[in-house]
Amino acid sequence: MDAFVGVLSVGVGVGGSTSGTCSRSGRRRLVVASAGKDGYKLNISEAIMVDLEGESLNSISKMPISAIQGVGEKTEKVLGALGLKTVSDMADYKFYKISRAIAVLESVERDGKRPDSSTMNIDKAVDKDFESKSFGDICDASASALQGISEEKGELLASIGVDTVRKLGEWKYFKWAESIVDLSKFEETK
């Protein structure tokens, strides 16, 4: 995993306000620990870079993936090699969505409960060797078990700690990107 790239140094001021400087951008700003001037309290301060905290969800969706806190240079290069350039690209990444669905359904799968007459399958999502496997077996497999992720791309993902289908479906950076993009559709422009 990449190390966190931005550091915020904070000093407490009069009236409970704080001022901070982001080491990544060098920008100094006033941080208010309670509600914003408009009374709203929503924030995603742990998911995005400090200097972007005042941006709308819609604008963050269109930003480079480096807007996500914790996505460093190495991770950005790996995701770029997979064709992911923006937060929105991460949110819509086909293999994340497939992996997430497999991981979710693995939690409701029970051994020996498949009826003989069942036609349920995910053959178009996984390589031939995994078509008859359980959700649990697929979750524990390398990301390259997914149809369309080569061994090389699987190794790239493994180099950033995403070495199984389960980890791909549960990786916090994909979850954050997806949540930002999903909620941006409900953001009222002011």
Is residue 190 assigned to a domain? no
Is residue 13 assigned to a domain? yes
Low-confidence ranges of the chain (pLDDT < 50): 1-21, 23-24, 27-33
| Matching residue, tokens 């090389």 | 152
Contact present, 143 and 162 (Cβ < 8 Å): yes
| Residue 36: predicted pLDDT | 66
| Residue 147: predicted pLDDT | 98
Average pLDDT score, the chain: 87
Q: Each residue of 159-182: pLDDT tens digit?
A: 999 999 999 999 999 999 999 999
The pTM (predicted TM-score) of the whole model is: 0.79
Is residue 139 assigned to a domain? yes
Task: For residue 78, count other CB atoms closer than 10 A to its CB.
Answer: 20
Is residue 175 assigned to a domain? yes
Is residue 43 assigned to a domain? yes
| Residue 86: predicted pLDDT | 98
Distance between CA 6 and CA 71 in Å, rounded?
10
Can you list the alpha helix ranges (DSSP code H) found in the chain?
57-61, 73-81, 87-91, 94-106, 135-140, 151-158, 165-170, 172-184
**Domain total for the chain?**
1
Is residue 138 assigned to a domain? yes
Is residue 1 assigned to a domain? no
- Residue-range definition of the domain harbouring residue 105: 8-184
| Residue 5: predicted pLDDT | 45
Is residue 169 assigned to a domain? yes
